[in-house]
């Protein structure tokens, strides 16, 4: 326990039921105040219980209303419903997100008897026709959304806010159209927001025990913070934002503890440091690793995610279809080459590049090399050695680092790259073919295998290859760009000077004349092992790379600057026959008001700083402490869940802002309390005997606050407007049928909203 004199120097101390009022008061006055305090505290708790029960019931109504509609796949349910099914079938899949939320969905499916038979192939596929217990699956995220309302209320309560403020904050969230639309579908955001709020709640509880350091409650809430923080990251990698928030708060806390005025020895300081390292670093790391261990333990069968992993990883899976199709490539084998990024095969034909391109550049007039979607006879290439091999050269495997020639079978020519500009990219080189026994040095390509440390023999399907031109150091490459009519509009293939580009890799699919399945059926099926940490690191790297590569344009993507203002929403589902649609957008009134709260908070902080600089104390210290401590924490949560998206290059959508929007409601509550409860003169009851800060600082500020009629009127007005907007937009939230064109247009509150049936 810290020294009482140190506590005095720390200033305002949050409420604790064991706190004793100032010893300077007379004994009889103490008894009277204790009695009053007990009465007020009991009444305060009853008010909270009633308010919390009310918002919880309302949240159940708004969240579960028509949860059975639509009985079809909606938006990203195509992904996360499918992933839950893969867990139930134990087939390996790949996703950019950690496994926890999908494991939770799979667990829910197992409890209700779902076997994972449905593939969630397309938006609009029927659940009823395919016998999918979708209501049960949706009930998990919906329940967590209700618990988010409970957490929001209790976060405000534990931060010392009035019952009215807690109710307002929870009500704004439960009447937010985006929260209802998103968090009752088979998706991950409900879990993400739930664990984020759990982390914030646990950290606030921990901070309330900062003067009872190393006690059991202190340890419990510190460990709970680390645990829930790890659960957040285990849902989505953006959970790192809550880690950053807690990290900043802990660093500030440790910096404060290091102050020599606190009187702590370095030994005592290190006890604090080690406790936080154990609970906020070691424990979360163990929890995060645990969920991946469960992930690998369940997914032991080959599945659609095999192709994202290394060949060694794939060999740890049972019944690997890719492994069954894989054969080692030997010299003189005839193969075809497939580009996984654009789904085309390396192709050539007798047509030639034109003498002059549209921009006036001169070509080599060489034989065209292109990419085609369907493999044909013009897609076969013979792998020829550039070194001495035995007469039965087919038995010599092609290995990483070997230098080869590729002969186009149909025309009997060799693949070539040379220092002539390609047709569509003057910065890259032209790829062509030339007759055999000519221009030998320009027909040499080095075999660079992806993941060559886990096996250096080139094989079909299992090993991707980069063909590096020995003479000019370019890699054979293609992209989603079609050549003009003179090349039959086939895909452009050229020599990429950026040899480190991950899209340079090709995969050999077949060896002509060999049936891989028949050959491999006679082989002993050996399941290899791979250390857990090695599998974990490989998957993490693949997740990061794939996530950063999600740059493909989408019609409903948006930019972070537009999110707080709801410039664009997302069309989740529509059905033209009944004129139904689900359009994910937030409650326009609540979101805009929350943005205003950020501006008010910043303005108050600036004004207070300037006033204190001039020796003026415009805000009572206890109120100031709460406003800038808890309000600052909420602001930090909002900033860390919003600003990092400006640095991301991947495609982004409005739903990425939902955690930040939730944090913004917390800040809105803090600003409301400051402006309409703390800022209104509400005298303290004379029975309390004193209004001095010395006594008031030992009471919960929410108990001392007496919201005036103006406060209730303002809260009622805000909630009413939020409710009206929620009801007005609810047909778009719940997918209600039958809206006429005029009714749809009425709900197009911003011209940038892409509503269906609005014409």
Burial degree of 13 (CB within 10 A; 0-12, 13-18, 19+) = middle
pTM as predicted:
0.82
pLDDT of residue 527: 80
Tell me the C-alpha distance between 67 and 70, whole Å: 8
Residue 338 within any structural domain of the chain: yes
Strand, coil or helix: 539: helix
Same domain (yes/no): 262, 344: no
Residue 573, burial from CB neighbour count under 10 angstroms (0-12, 13-18, 19+): buried
Do 412 and 355 share a structural domain?
A: yes
The answer to whether the beta carbons of residues 531 and 312 sit under 8 Å apart is no
| 441 burial type by CB count under 10 A (0-12 exposed, 13-18 middle, 19+ buried) | exposed
Given a contact cutoff of 8 angstroms between Cβ atoms, the answer to whether 83 and 119 are in contact is no
Label residue 75 exposed, middle or buried (CB < 10 Å: 0-12, 13-18, 19+): buried
Q: What are the CA-CA distances from residue 292 to residues 93, 534, 544, 579, 608 (Å)? A: 13, 12, 15, 43, 48
b/e for 404-420, b at 16 or more Cβ within 10 A? bbbbbbeeebbbbbbeb
**475 is written with which tokens?**
């890699």
Kindly state whether residues 262 and 160 are assigned to the same domain.
yes
Kindly state whether residue 302 falls inside one of the protein's structural domains: no
Q: Alpha-carbon distance 743 to 581, whole Å? A: 13
Taking the C-alpha atoms of 632, 638, 642 and 647 in order, what is their torsion angle to the nearest 10 degrees?
Answer: 30
- Cα separation, 706 vs 168, in Å, equals 16
| Type and span of the H or E element at 153 | helix 134-158
Q: Considering its fold, how many domains does the chain have in total?
A: 2
In a domain, 94, yes or no: no
Give yes or no for a contact between 671 and 597, defined as CB atoms under 8 angstroms apart.
Answer: yes
Q: What is the DSSP letter of 685?
A: P
Based on the domain organization, do 366 and 412 belong to the same domain?
A: yes
Q: Which helix (H) or strand (E) holds 28?
A: helix 27-64
What's residue 688's pLDDT?
A: 37
70 prior amide bond cis, ω within 30: yes
**Could you say which of 472, 495, 513 is where a domain stops?**
513
The whole-number mean pLDDT for each consecutive block of 10 residues of the chain, a chain of 759 residues, reads: 41 41 54 62 82 98 96 95 96 95 97 95 95 97 98 96 96 98 96 98 95 95 98 96 97 91 89 96 98 97 87 84 83 93 94 88 92 95 89 77 95 95 92 94 94 84 92 94 93 94 92 82 74 95 87 90 96 92 96 97 94 87 87 97 94 95 98 85 37 40 67 96 98 92 94 87
Element of type H or E holding 662: helix 658-676
Contact 307/322 with Cβ under 8 angstroms? yes
Same-domain pairing of 338 and 289: no
Compute CA distances 14 → 79, 196, 272, 706, whole Å: 46, 23, 20, 18
Closest CA to 188 of 149, 239, 125: 239
Give the pLDDT score at 696.
39
Closest CA to 214 of 296, 271, 149, 136: 271
Residue that is written with structure tokens 């989603």 in the block: 480
Q: Do residues 127 and 265 touch, judged by C-beta distance below 8 A?
A: no
Find the angle CA(277)-CA(279)-CA(284) to the nearest 5 degrees.
100
Q: Based on the domain organization, do 335 and 291 belong to the same domain? A: no
Same domain, 353 and 457: yes
Last residue of a domain, one of 468, 490, 513: 513
Q: Which residues contact 297 (CB under 8 A, 6 or more apart)?
A: none
Could you tell me which of 318, 313, 301 has the C-alpha nearest to residue 92?
A: 301
CA distance 496 to 526: 39
Q: Which two tokens stand for residue 292?
A: 């991946």
Do 289 and 334 have their domain in common? no
Same domain flag for 287 and 389 = no
**What is d(CA 404, CA 470) in angstroms, rounded to the nearest whole number?**
10
Query: Exposure pattern of 462-486 as b/e (b: 16+ CB <10 Å)?
Result: bbbbbbbbeeeebbbbbbeeebeee
Tell me, what CATH number does 419's domain have?
2.80.10.50
- Given a contact cutoff of 8 angstroms between Cβ atoms, the answer to whether 591 and 661 are in contact is yes
What is the DSSP track for 412-480?
Answer: TEEEEEEEEE-SS-TTSEEEEEEETTSSGGGG-EEEEETTGGG--B-BTTT-EEEEEETTT--EEEEEE
Does residue 259 sit in the same domain as residue 356?
no
Measured CA distances, 520 to 90, 255, 383, 716 (Å): 23, 63, 22, 72
For residues 345, 651, 85, 124, the Cα torsion angle rounded to the nearest 10 degrees is -90
d(CA 286, CA 223): 12
**Contact between residue 573 and residue 124 where contact means Cβ atoms under 8 Å apart:** yes
* In contact, 755 and 208? CB cutoff 8 Å: no
Q: Is 16 a domain residue?
A: no
User: Is 695 part of any domain?
Assistant: yes
**In-domain check, residue 111:** no
Q: Which residues does 656 contact at the CB level (< 8 Å), separation at least 6? A: 238, 560, 563, 645
* Residues 6 or more apart whose Cβ sits within 8 Å of residue 553: 651
Alpha-carbon torsion, ordered 632, 633, 639, 642, to 10 deg: -140
| Tokens, residue 520 | 């491999």
| Secondary-structure percent of the chain, ordered helix, strand, coil, rounded to 5 | 50, 15, 35
Q: Which of 513, 533, 554 is the last residue of a domain?
A: 513
CB 681 within 8 A of CB 709: no
Angle between helices 658-676 and 134-158 (to 10 degrees): 30
For tokens 């001392």, the residue is 704
- Rounded CA-CA distance 76/120 in Å is 10
Residues 633, 733 within the same domain: yes
> Is 357:423 a contact under the CB 8 Å cutoff?
yes
Boundaries of domain holding 244: 33-67+141-295+568-747
Q: Please report whether residue 758 resides in a domain.
A: no
Q: Do 173 and 220 sit in the same domain of this protein?
A: yes
CA distances 362 to 270, 365, 420, 488, Å, are: 72, 8, 9, 20
In a domain, 550, yes or no: no
- 91 vs 93: CA distance, rounded Å: 6
pLDDT at 694: 37
Query: What pLDDT is attached to residue 325?
Result: 82
CA 175, CA 180: separation in Å to the nearest integer? 8
């Amino acid at each position: 326990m810290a020294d009482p004199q140190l506590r005095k120097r720390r200033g305002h101390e949050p409420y604790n039921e064991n706190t004793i009022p100032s010893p300077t008061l007379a004994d009889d006055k103490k008894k009277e105040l204790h009695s009053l305090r007990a009465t007020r505290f009991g009444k305060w708790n009853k008010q909270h219980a009633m308010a919390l029960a009310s918002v919880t019931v309302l949240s159940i109504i708004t969240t579960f209303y028509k949860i059975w509609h639509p009985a079809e796949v909606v938006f990203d349910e195509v992904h996360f419903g499918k992933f839950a099914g893969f867990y139930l079938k134990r087939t390996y899949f790949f996703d950019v997100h950690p496994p926890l939320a999908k494991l939770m969905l799979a667990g829910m499916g197992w409890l209700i008897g779902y076997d994972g038979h449905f593939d969630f192939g397309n938006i609009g596929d029927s659940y009823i026709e395919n016998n999918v217990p979708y209501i049960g699956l949706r009930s998990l995220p919906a329940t967590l959304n209700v618990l988010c309302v409970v957490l929001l209320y209790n976060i405000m309560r534990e931060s010392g806010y009035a019952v009215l403020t807690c109710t307002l904050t929870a009500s704004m969230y439960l009447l937010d159209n985006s929260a209802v639309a998103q968090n009752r579908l088979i998706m991950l955001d409900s879990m993400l927001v739930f664990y984020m709020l759990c982390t914030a709640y646990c950290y606030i509880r921990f901070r309330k025990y900062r003067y009872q350091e190393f006690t059991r409650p202190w340890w419990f809430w510190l460990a709970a913070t680390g645990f829930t923080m790890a659960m957040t990251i285990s849902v989505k990698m953006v959970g790192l934002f809550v880690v950053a928030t807690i990290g900043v708060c802990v660093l500030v806390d440790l910096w404060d503890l290091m102050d020599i005025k606190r009187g702590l020895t370095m030994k005592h300081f290190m006890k604090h440091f080690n406790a936080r390292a154990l609970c906020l670093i070691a424990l979360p790391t163990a929890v995060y690793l645990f969920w991946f261990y469960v992930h690998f333990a369940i997914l032991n069968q080959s599945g659609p995610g095999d192709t994202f992993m290394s060949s060694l990883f794939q060999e740890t899976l049972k019944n690997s279809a890719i492994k069954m199709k894989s054969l080692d490539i030997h010299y003189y084998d005839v193969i075809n080459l497939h580009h996984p990024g654009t789904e085309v095969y390396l192709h050539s034909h007798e047509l030639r590049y034109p003498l002059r391109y549209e921009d006036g550049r001169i070509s080599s007039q060489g034989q065209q090399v292109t990419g085609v979607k369907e493999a044909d006879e013009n897609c076969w290439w013979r792998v020829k050695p550039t070194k001495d091999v035995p007469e039965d050269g087919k038995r010599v495997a092609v290995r990483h680092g070997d230098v080869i020639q590729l002969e186009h079978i149909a025309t009997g020519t060799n693949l070539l790259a040379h220092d002539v500009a390609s047709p569509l990219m003057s910065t890259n080189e032209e790829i062509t073919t030339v007759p055999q026994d000519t221009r030998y040095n320009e027909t040499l390509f080095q075999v660079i295998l992806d993941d060559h440390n886990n096996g250096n023999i080139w094989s079909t399907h299992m090993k991707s290859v980069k063909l590096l031109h020995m003479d000019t150091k370019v890699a054979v490459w293609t992209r989603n760009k079609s050549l003009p009519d003179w090349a039959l509009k086939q895909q452009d293939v050229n020599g990429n000077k950026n040899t480190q580009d991950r899209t340079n890799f090709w995969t050999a699919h077949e060896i002509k004349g060999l049936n891989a399945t028949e050959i491999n059926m006679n082989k002993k099926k050996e399941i290899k092992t791979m250390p857990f940490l090695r599998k974990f690191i490989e998957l993490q790297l693949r997740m990061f790379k794939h996530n950063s590569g999600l740059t493909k344009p989408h019609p409903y993507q948006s930019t972070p600057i537009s999110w707080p203002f709801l410039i664009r929403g997302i069309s989740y589902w529509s059905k033209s026959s009944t004129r139904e649609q689900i359009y994910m957008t937030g409650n326009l009134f609540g979101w805009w008001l929350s943005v205003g709260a950020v501006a008010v908070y910043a303005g108050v902080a600036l004004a207070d700083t300037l006033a204190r600089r001039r020796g003026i104390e415009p805000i009572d210290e206890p109120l100031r402490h709460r406003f800038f401590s808890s309000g600052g924490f909420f602001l930090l949560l909002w900033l860390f869940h919003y600003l990092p998206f400006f640095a991301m290059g991947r495609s982004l959508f409005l739903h990425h802002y939902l955690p930040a929007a939730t944090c913004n409601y917390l800040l809105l509550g803090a600003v409301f309390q400051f402006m309409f409860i703390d800022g209104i003169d509400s005298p303290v009851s004379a029975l309390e005997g004193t209004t001095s800060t010395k006594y008031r600082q030992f009471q919960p500020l929410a108990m001392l606050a007496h919201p005036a009629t103006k406060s209730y009127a303002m809260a009622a007005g805000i909630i009413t407007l939020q409710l009206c907007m929620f009801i007005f937009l609810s047909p778009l939230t719940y997918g209600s049928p039958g809206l006429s064109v005029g009714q749809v247009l009425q709900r197009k509150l911003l011209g940038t909203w892409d509503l269906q049936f609005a014409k």
